[in-house]
Amino acid sequence: MQIPYTVESRPDTGVYNGKMGIWLFLASEVMLFGGLFSTYILLRTGAVGWLEGSISVEKGGAGLNVPLATFNTFVLIASSVTIIMAWASLAIGRAREKEIANLELGSEDVQERITVSALSNPQKIRAESLKRFQLFMGLTVLLSLVFLVAKAYEYNYKFSHGIYPKTHNFYAIYFTLTGLHALHIIGGVLVNGYFLLPWKSLLTRFWAIIYYLIIPAALIVLCAFLLYHKSGIVFAVSPIILYVFLLLSGLVKTFVSAVPGCQMWETEPDRFINRIECAGLYWHFVDLVWIFLFPVLYLLPGS
Amino acid sequence: MAEGHIHDISRDVKKYLYVFLALAILTAVTVGVSRVDLGITGGIVVALIVAAVKGSLVALYFMHLNHEKKSIYQLLGLTVVCFLILVFIALGATRNKHPYYNDEDERRFQEKYNESLTHLHEPQEHEEDHGNHDDEHSGEFTAPTGSPIGAYWRNKVFNPQQTGDGSTTASSGGAIYGTSVISGLVTFEGTVPRMKSLIEEMSVDVGCYGKYTTTEPTSDTVVVGPSNTLANILVRITEGPPIGRAYDATDEVSAGRVKPAILDQYGCMYKPHILAVMTGQEITIKNSDGIMHNVHAMPDINSEFNKAMPKMTKKIDYTFQEEEQDPFPIKCDVHPWMGGYVSVLPHPFFSLTAPNGKFEIRNLPAGTYQIEAWHEKLGIQTATVTVNEGETSTSNFAFSRS
């Protein structure tokens, strides 16, 4: 099955399908968070009094941890930069690769061609840009995890001090908004983590161990157990039949080949660049939401 | 972008770093500015403008919206419109509108009003219908009594000239004050319940538990004094000569017949737990705790009332304009255990028991009275008392956990 317009632009939209898809998704996300921001406004204007995030609970505020949230803001902004650098390293590598290819075809200067191909052959460029990509993507995932740890500390502090969503409408909307945002961060970590590593070969090795060592060993133990207890021979052997069926049907192989991770860079580099661009768009959106959440919850004065 | 030239992308990379710097600086700015007091509107506006600038930087440079295809712009244009609709729905909703004031209330109110007007033109019918014997020969027309809205219109529509000095020019038909007294003792029968300790709930806020250094804070639902006397019982007259007559709160307070109404918040409890006031009497709500409270009153007839009292707000004044048949609860949404009751009565003939269980209703004209003793949990007891001019009648109540 061939998915259309993964690399080239679709004529009527002018963009590849993935980009249109992620923007449609982000548009729906705008409405999701928009509804919650709207809820915030309604709760705030409807309330006679509203808590100020930065003032401690003892002094009548909400007692939110502004320094930690400021730190988290820097972390998210930095992760936005690292993910776009991850994309740029791939794009630059790919452009250079193409340039060399064009150079080799069109150049009359033999000496130059030799120099270029000696200094940078396409395979080398591709491998190097993947290394750079993995560095930046790894940083992005790391920064996301830092954000989550800080967030978990914040939540834990609130809960251990008896502050729950039910405590005040302020906390209700605070936990809803930041909780939903944290879920988005977790989603981003999963997707970015998927693009970070060569999952196909990792899984191949992983599944190889499971399928050719662990499962047969477990089945042998099971069969021995069943035979020892004098169950019927067909019943005892049936798990082995099932196992052989699974192995032959190639379900495992299909699954493994469907999750290339960063190995797509080797097979379909342009498509992989587009994937990273879409992941980046999502991640920038998560950053953008936080850019609004931070002042709205932590900095706005109470009333 | 993906098919861009190396030099374009390299130039963009430099741009990303500048944007990162700008975002970091703007974050520092918005945190710094939030420490400066710009007022509520100023603070919100500045914070949102900085956030909008930061958001635009991310959208334009990181999300490449500075050069994107038309189809994406169209999609985002639609999204922005929908988002703004969501925000403006919220901004436009419920400001200056009472959430519980609906068409049904409006209709009932109008009905009462029309009814009152009918009585104005046809006094005979009014007398037959409502047979208020004190008003029968008065020559003045009063709206139906017994209904709070009626009481409201009685003051506002029928006796507009009386506003401010209702006590002196009240309708005739006997004196509105006398020298008789109804007093008594309220006791609790049976095993005195142990009140729940609040120390654990209060432990969330030093502003609460910090006030209790020698005693343990307990729930003030049932307060039993020495020798099983019961505090916080509201005793009031429900029938008798003064009912249906007009009394003015300001006069009653200045004449000392009604105590000034002060509701304090101390140690995250309402002091007093039960507050009885007259219609139109000014209530001083104090915040001695110096922490965030809010006073949320849930009356049946008057408008719901919800005022935040941040630490710096030491005192607010409020007045309930309409009579309430039953005491209504007040609570603090910040501290769920904080609860109290307010009773709004059209006359000054009520009394609250102290922990010694004693009540005393003074200045009554002679006559036969129905009196009611009310407790929020233990229920209502009534008694009929006849008192002669200048004398004191005694009526005792005994409550129990039934």
| SS3 of chain B | CCCCCHHHHHHHHHHHHHHHHHHHHHHHHHHHHHHCCCHHHHHHHHHHHHHHHHHHHHHHHHCCCCCCCHHHHHHHHHHHHHHHHHHHHHHHCCCCCCCCCCHHHHHHHHHHHHHHHHHHHCHHHHHHHHCCCCCCCCCCCCCCCCCHHHHHHHHHHHCHHHCCCCCCCCCCCCCCCCCEEEEEEEEEECCCCCCCECHHHHCCCHHHHCCCCCCCCECCCCCECHHHEECCCEEEEEECCCCCCCCCHHHHHHCCCCCCEEEEEECCEEECCEEEEECCCEEEEEECCCCCEEEEECCCCCCCEEEEECCCCCEEEEECCCCCCCCEEEECCCCCCCEEEEEEECCCCEEECCCCCEEEEEEECCEEEEEEEEECCCEEEEEEEEECCCCEEECCEEEECC
Q: Considering only residues A237 and B127, tell me which one the structure prediction assigns the higher pLDDT.
A: A237
In angstroms, the separation between the Cα of residue B278 and the nearest Cα of chain A is: 25
In chain A, which residues have their Cβ closer than 8 Å to the Cβ of B27? 70, 73-74, 77, 294
Return the minimum-mean-pLDDT range out of A2-11, B100-109, B337-346: B100-109
In angstroms, the separation between the Cα of residue B327 and the nearest Cα of chain A is: 23
Q: Considering only residues A64 and A235, tell me which one the structure prediction assigns the higher pLDDT.
A: A64
> What number of other Cβ atoms are within 10 A of residue B277's Cβ?
24
Q: How many CB pairs under 8 A join A and B?
A: 197
In angstroms, the separation between the Cα of residue B66 and the nearest Cα of chain A is: 14
In chain B, which residues have their Cβ closer than 8 Å to the Cβ of A74? 24, 27
Query: How high is the pLDDT of residue B114?
Result: 60
Q: Report whether pLDDT(B153) > 70.
A: no
- Give CA angle at A166 (A163, A171), nearest 5°: 60
Q: Report whether pLDDT(B185) > 70.
A: yes
Query: How high is the pLDDT of residue B138?
Result: 42
Question: Is A41–B90 a contact, with Cβ atoms under 8 angstroms apart?
Answer: yes
CATH topology of domain B180-400: Immunoglobulin-like (2.60.40)
Domain limits of chain B? 6-92, 103-162, 180-400
User: Whole-prediction pTM value?
Assistant: 0.57
Question: Is A27–B309 a contact, with Cβ atoms under 8 angstroms apart?
Answer: no
Out of B58, B71, B292, whose CB is closest to A15?
B71
H helices present in B246-382, as ranges: 249-254
Beta-sheet strand order (sheet of B367-375)? B350-352, B234-239, B367-375, B379-387
Residues pairing with B328 in the sheet: B342
Q: Does B81 touch chain A (CB under 8 A)?
A: no
What's the rounded Cα separation, in Å, for the pair A150 and A135?
A: 23
Query: How high is the pLDDT of residue B107?
Result: 62
Q: What are phi and psi of A206, to 5 degrees?
A: -60, -50
Q: What is the pLDDT of residues B21-55, one digit of tens each?
A: 999 999 999 999 988 888 888 888 999 999 999 99
Question: Is A34–B82 a contact, with Cβ atoms under 8 angstroms apart?
Answer: yes
In angstroms, the separation between the Cα of residue A238 and the nearest Cα of chain B is: 53
Average pLDDT score over residue span A213-220 = 85
Q: Report whether pLDDT(B247) > 60.
A: yes
Query: How high is the pLDDT of residue A113?
Result: 63
Q: Report whether pLDDT(B273) > 50.
A: yes
User: Please, which pLDDT band fits residue A179 given cuts at 50, 70 and 90?
Assistant: very high
CATH topology of domain A17-196+262-299: Four Helix Bundle (Hemerythrin (Met), subunit A) (1.20.120)
In chain A, which residues have their Cβ closer than 8 Å to the Cβ of B309? 49
Query: How high is the pLDDT of residue B162?
Result: 40
Q: Report whether pLDDT(A208) > 50.
A: yes
> What number of other Cβ atoms are within 10 A of residue A249's Cβ?
10
Q: Does B87 touch chain A (CB under 8 A)?
A: yes
- H or E, element range at A242: helix A233-249
Query: How high is the pLDDT of residue B118?
Result: 52
Q: What is the ipTM, given to two decimal places? A: 0.84
Question: Is A38–B79 a contact, with Cβ atoms under 8 angstroms apart?
Answer: no
Return the minimum-mean-pLDDT range out of A25-29, A183-187, B199-203: B199-203
Q: What is the pLDDT of residues B9-24, one digit of tens each?
A: 888 889 999 999 999 9
> What number of other Cβ atoms are within 10 A of residue B341's Cβ?
22
Q: Considering only residues A116 and A237, tell me which one the structure prediction assigns the higher pLDDT.
A: A237
Query: How high is the pLDDT of residue A215?
Result: 83
Query: How high is the pLDDT of residue B20?
Result: 95
In chain B, which residues have their Cβ closer than 8 Å to the Cβ of A19? 72
In chain A, which residues have their Cβ closer than 8 Å to the Cβ of B93? 42, 45-46
Question: Is A15–B72 a contact, with Cβ atoms under 8 angstroms apart?
Answer: yes
Question: Is A49–B71 a contact, with Cβ atoms under 8 angstroms apart?
Answer: no
Q: Report whether pLDDT(A171) > 80.
A: yes
Q: Does A46 touch chain B (CB under 8 A)?
A: yes
Place of tokens 């998927």: A194
Closest-CA residue in chain A for B12? A88
Question: Is A277–B1 a contact, with Cβ atoms under 8 angstroms apart?
Answer: yes
User: Please, which pLDDT band fits residue B75 given cuts at 50, 70 and 90?
Assistant: very high
Query: How high is the pLDDT of residue A118?
Result: 61
Question: Is B4–A50 a contact, with Cβ atoms under 8 angstroms apart?
Answer: no
Question: Is B94–A46 a contact, with Cβ atoms under 8 angstroms apart?
Answer: yes
In chain A, which residues have their Cβ closer than 8 Å to the Cβ of B297? none
Mean pLDDT of chain B: 79
Domain limits of chain A? 17-196+262-299, 199-259
What's the rounded Cα separation, in Å, for the pair A163 and A158?
A: 5
Q: Considering only residues A27 and B125, tell me which one the structure prediction assigns the higher pLDDT.
A: A27
H helices present in B122-205, as ranges: 123-130, 148-153, 199-202
Closest-CA residue in chain B for A35? B86
Q: Does B41 touch chain A (CB under 8 A)?
A: no
> What number of other Cβ atoms are within 10 A of residue B221's Cβ?
15
Query: How high is the pLDDT of residue B39?
Result: 81
Residues pairing with B239 in the sheet: B370
Query: How high is the pLDDT of residue B124?
Result: 43
What do you get for the CA distance between the two ends of chain A, in Å? 59
H helices present in B36-69, as ranges: 39-57
CB B276 within 8 A of CB B244: no
Best-predicted range by mean pLDDT among A264-268, B100-104, B143-147?
Answer: A264-268
User: Please, which pLDDT band fits residue B164 given cuts at 50, 70 and 90?
Assistant: very low
Q: What are phi and psi of B372, to 5 degrees?
A: -130, 135
User: Please, which pLDDT band fits residue A248 given cuts at 50, 70 and 90?
Assistant: confident
Out of B30, B204, B308, whose CB is closest to A299?
B30
